[in-house]
Amino acid sequence: MIKVLTIIGARPQIIKAAAISRAIKNKFVDKIKEIIVHTGQHYDKNMSEVFFEELGIPRPDYNLNVGSGKHGKQTAKMIEGIEELLLKEKPNYIILYGDTNSTLAGAVAASKLNIPIVHIEAGLRSFNRKMPEEVNRVVCDHLSTLLFSPTVTGYKNLMNEGLNEMNKSPFTPEQPGYFHCGDIMYDNSLYFSELAKNKSKILEDNGLISKEYILSTIHRDHNTDIYDNLRSIFNALIEISKTNKIILPLHPRTKKVLEQMKHKELFERIKENNILLIPPVSFLDMISLEKNALMVITDSGGVQKEAYFFKNPCIILRPETEWVEIVDTGNAFLCGADYNEILNAFNFIINSGAGDYPKIFGDGKAAEFILKTLINNCPEAVL
């Protein structure tokens, strides 16, 4: 039996973990035992708990309850907690998702104990080291033993950073194995899309009509914490809302910023306009909002990609993206926080026909591929 210890912490990681946990349960229950560790990076009910209930993810075996804080303090607390659990559980692998501080903490703790790191969503790059997530990804990738890239670009980025495609098993941190396997979030979106159809009532609850509203999310520190960027984005949304209703599930970071005195006037104007601010929603509700939207306006990594999965155009509120393919296909537009660029992209989308959405995120079976690879390459496993 192989023992894997999975680290989750932030909302998108909890959702991602559903794909791997489901594949273990359905296909590899006799070969893989999963221990789930929640760092507690996200802790509000609608940022964490709601996903376990809805997506059938096993309850975490441990919760480090680290909570919010500055990068150093938050990450340090996580490293300390994860180290203790790795020593206690002695897993064959640690599984890390994406690029959050929980990912970085898991990578640092495991690498010092020589526990092989499996990085899911490896190779993604924004080439912007001012993004905390870029630092986290680069560090995690270069400490990993098995790296799984969701896209061809991610795979090529790893080659460009010197990883050798010819490495052979047994893989090690010095000679890692890396694979292009498709996106586990594509697995999840296919799987949960059917459930969302039957279970989500979010459109009815908010008086929304399919294809007559725009979905928006905002939470990047670059947009929330830079005064001019936040104002410019919301002023563009206010302008757009004069012709199209916008629904915006508000990330707690953004809510806290908007409630500050310096943004009081802006917050009032947002509420007076056709912008529906609602608390963060469950994943099934989010899928339903994404599928039925006229377009998506977001700075989220996950949401821009899900817009693509559901064949919806997207305005990306960032100057660059790790998911370059969706921009290359002409379905997503990089606008940063620039008022004019956002409005230009909006008008362009409104005036153009439906785009082509080639399949670039795999076949919906990325999780299965990853688990098979773990089983086939586990040096100390007693199968």
Q: Does 154 bind ligand UDP (CB under 6 A)?
A: no
Least distance in angstroms from the C-beta of 76 to ligand UDP: 21
Contact yes or no for 1/38 (Cβ under 8 A): no
Q: Alpha helix (H) ranges present in 91-244?
A: 101-112, 132-143, 152-160, 184-199, 202-205, 221-224, 227-240
Cα separation, 245 vs 274, whole angstroms: 5
Buried-state track 270-307, b at ≥16 Cβ within 10 A, e below 16: beebbbbbeebbbbbbbbbbbbbbbbbbbbbbbbbbbb
- Looking at this protein, which amino acid is placed at residue 362? G
Is the distance from CB of 292 to CB of 202 less than 8 angstroms?
no
- E strand residue ranges, 188-313: 213-217, 245-249, 275-278, 295-298
Should residue 367 be labelled a site residue for ligand UDP when binding is judged by CB under 6 A?
Answer: no
Q: Which stretch binds ligand UDP (CB under 6 A): 81-89, 142-150, 222-230, 281-289?
A: 281-289
Residue with tokens 């984005």: 233
Q: Which of residues 132-161 bind ligand UD1 (CB under 6 A)?
A: 132-133
Is 300 a binder of ligand UDP (CB under 6 A)? yes
Q: Choose the one of ligand UD1, ligand UDP, none that binds residue 281, judging by a C-beta under 5 to 8 angstroms depending on kind.
A: ligand UDP
How far is Cα 164 from Cα 296, in angstroms, rounded to an integer? 38
Cβ atoms of 41 and 66 closer than 8 Å: yes
Which span (71-79, 142-150, 275-283, 350-358) binds ligand UDP, by CB under 6 A?
275-283
CA atoms within 13 A of residue 128's CA, in its CB half-sphere: 11
For ligand UDP, which is the closer residue by CB, 35 or 325? 325
217 binds, among ligand UD1, ligand UDP, none (CB under 5 to 8 A by kind): ligand UDP
Encoded one letter per residue, x for contact with ligand UD1 by CB under 6 A and - for no contact, window 198-237 reads: ---------------------x------------------
Considering only residues 253, 263, 365, 372, which one is a binding residue for ligand UD1 as defined by CB under 6 A?
253
Contacts of 273 (CB under 8 A, 6+ apart): 238, 241, 242
d(CA 303, CA 356): 18
Q: What are phi and psi of 375, to 5 degrees?
A: -65, -45
Distance, in Å, from the CA atom of 187 to the CA atom of 195, rounded to the nearest integer, reads: 13
Q: Determine the interface stretch with ligand UD1 among 6-14, 190-198, 281-289, 315-323 (rule: CB under 6 A).
A: 6-14
Q: Which of 115, 270, 303, 307 binds ligand UDP (CB under 6 A)?
A: 303
Q: Which is nearer to ligand UD1, 98 or 182 (CB)?
A: 98
The listed partner (ligand UD1, ligand UDP, none) that binds 253, CB under 5 to 8 Å by sort, is ligand UD1
- Of 47, 317, 16, give the one whose Cα is nearest residue 36: 16
Active-site hit among 42, 119, 180, 219: 219
173 binds, options ligand UD1, ligand UDP, none, Cβ within 5 to 8 A by partner type = none
Give, as ranges, the residues between 109 and 128 that touch ligand UD1 (CB under 6 A).
none
Instruction: Copy the structure tokens of residue 194.
Output: 């059917």
Q: Which of residues 227-266 bind ligand UDP (CB under 6 A)?
A: 249
Which CB sits closer to ligand UD1, 134 or 368? 134
142 catalytic per annotation: no
Span near ligand UDP by CB under 6 A; candidates 9-17, 70-78, 258-266, 334-342: 9-17
CA distance 356 to 332: 11
SS3 call for 14 = helix
Identify which of residues 283 and 361 has a Cβ nearer to ligand UDP in the complex: 283
Among 101, 189, 282, 304, binds ligand UD1 (CB under 6 A): 101
Q: What's the min distance (Å) between Cβ of 155 and ligand UD1?
A: 21
Q: Does 15 participate in binding ligand UDP (rule CB under 6 A)?
A: yes
Contacts (Cβ under 8 Å, ≥6 apart) of 198: none
Q: Which residues bind ligand UDP (CB under 6 A)?
A: 11-12, 15, 217, 219, 249, 280-281, 283, 286, 300-303, 306
Active site residues: 219
Binding site for ligand UD1 (CB under 6 A): 10-12, 41-44, 47, 68, 99-101, 132-133, 219, 252-253, 256
